[in-house]
Structure 1
Amino acid sequence: MHKLGLVGVRTSWRTIADGEFFCPECGGDRNYRRRTGKRRLALLGVPVLPRGEVGPVLECSSCGSHFGLDALDHPTTTRFSAMLRDAVHTIALAVLAAGGTSARPVREQAVSVVRSSGFTECTEEQLLSLLAALAADTGRLPGTYHDGRDGLDPCGTALAIELHEALEPLAPHLAPAGRESLLLQGARIALADGPYTGPEREVLTTVGGALSLDEADTERLLAAARTPS
């Protein structure tokens, strides 16, 4: 209670929900209580007059700090890791679908990239099965995409949608270096069997856009990936 002589304001809190969030104060995943409150003017510690409602707020169960509901927009560490794994997996599938899977170096690089993201038991067979399912849904086989001159999306509408759905929610929570790293991982898959093909470049351009990289940065990174380290 904030004391003003014998008079103060007291807040009575009520918990309406709970869950897990990333606490900005603790710097990690914590449980929270979603709470609303009512303020009352108190005389000698006894509430006597209503002074309006407070909240809702999120109260960290560890440090007790209060935050606005927008704190839930930041993914938990567990959720962030899952989003990152899914993003890498989606990029790998999109590049394979655009460039084809006939070259062993491409398949091996795709598996290596996906495993390093956290899918440690990923195999070539699993990726090829997913691509076959994708081809069955779209009626289009990997490596047979149009060049865009007829107005069709060279990387396939379904793939473009998948890329945006996987990458756009993640991009605001990644530092620029993290977003660039995702694009470069896709570029390394595409380059494993030689220079970019037209469809591969189109997919990677889509990846850059979904990651909020501007066209100049995307082109710079794709060029840099071609340069031996």
Structure 2
Amino acid sequence: MVLPSLLDLRCRGLWIWGVRTVWQTEGDGEFFCPRCGGDRNYSRRTGTRRLTVFNIPVLHRGSAGTVVECGVCQERFALDALDQPTSSRFAAMLRDAVHTVALAVLTAGGATSRHARQAALEAVRAAGFTDCTEDQLIGLLAALAADEGRLPGSDEPLPGAVDGCGTWLSIELHEALGPLTPHLAPQGRERILLQGARIALADGPYRPAEREALAAVGRALLLPDEDTARLLEAAARTPS
């Protein structure tokens, strides 16, 4: 009896040895799948390459890394796929950003104006806080005024204030806009700035503190200073 050669076995599709990746699931969650184009469940999996003999793993041949595997399309992605927020998370980030910008602009100068408060309320509702009322907005402004130590609508700068909108709101502005900005197209960043500008202009020309607050919004959105100035001037020239 003549045993077939290794070459004969390979030609017949009978592989003696090979390398196979064995995947182990380490966690799961929800992510935005680039291939599906929507929110999907994922598995975080780590692969190990193993030498196989007759398809049986026998020797460790190194790591294949860690990937994110979509539960629907089964496509595998690098871990940075998890950096993209889910659709629901993105909507929440955008809603919080508009809300914080509206509070910053009102606190900087227009809190006592019914027109400015109404413009802020419309922006906040359009962003997702559909149940927000004017009383709730006034309550937040009063709480901020008490915390920051000045009356809403005053042009007097706060002790220790940053960017014309108060220490607490300055921190909130960067925390709300910082994580969101990398995921926004330039038009989206400009739109958030212009929403703030419309609130500031609802009761008349920009006050100095409002301009300073809006400039801070532009910086948090990573807009060049000249672009921020151009957009603010264009908004001021646009009939309401």
Structure 1 residue 47 and structure 2 residue 49: aligned? no
- 3-state DSSP of counterpart to 1:21: strand
Q: Which runs of 5+ in 2 are unaligned?
A: 1-12
Distance 2:42 2:224 in 1: 37
1:156 partner amino acid: G
Alpha-carbon distance, 1:55 to partner:
2.0
Distance 2:205 2:63 in 1: 63
| Equivalent in the alignment of 1:203 | 213
Alpha-carbon distance, 1:141 to partner:
2.3
Alpha-carbon distance, 1:5 to partner:
5.2
Distance 1:83 1:34 in 2: 24
Distance 1:84 1:61 in 2: 27
Distance 2:14 2:138 in 1: 71
Structure 1 residue 108 and structure 2 residue 96: aligned? no
Distance 1:145 1:23 in 2: 47
Q: Which runs of 5+ in 1 are unaligned?
A: none
| Equivalent in the alignment of 1:182 | 192
Alpha-carbon distance, 1:109 to partner:
0.8
| Equivalent in the alignment of 1:129 | 139
Distance 1:99 1:202 in 2: 10
Distance 1:52 1:86 in 2: 45
- 3-state DSSP of counterpart to 1:37: strand
Q: TM-score, normalised by structure 2?
A: 0.89
Distance 1:224 1:6 in 2: 73
Alpha-carbon distance, 1:147 to partner:
4.8
1:32 partner amino acid: Y
Preserved CA contact (<8 Å) 1:145 1:155: no
- The root-mean-square deviation of aligned C-alpha atoms, in Å, is 1.9
Alpha-carbon distance, 1:102 to partner:
2.1
Distance 2:238 2:228 in 1: 18
- Mapping of residues 27-176 of structure 1, within 5 Å: 27-147=37-157, 152-153=161-162, 154-176=164-186
Preserved CA contact (<8 Å) 2:110 2:117: no
Q: TM-score, normalised by structure 1?
A: 0.93
| Equivalent in the alignment of 1:228 | 238
Distance 1:96 1:228 in 2: 20
- 3-state DSSP of counterpart to 2:172: helix
- 3-state DSSP of counterpart to 2:36: coil
Alpha-carbon distance, 1:182 to partner:
0.2
Preserved CA contact (<8 Å) 2:41 2:72: yes
Alpha-carbon distance, 1:59 to partner:
0.8
Which has the larger Rg? 2
Distance 2:190 2:123 in 1: 15
Alpha-carbon distance, 1:152 to partner:
4.4
Distance 2:25 2:155 in 1: 54
Distance 1:71 1:52 in 2: 23
- The list of structure 1 runs, each at least 4 consecutive aligned residues, that deviate by more than 6 angstroms after superposition, is none
Change (3 A) 1:86 1:4: farther
Change (3 A) 1:10 1:100: same
Structure 1 residue 18 and structure 2 residue 13: aligned? no
Alpha-carbon distance, 1:187 to partner:
0.2
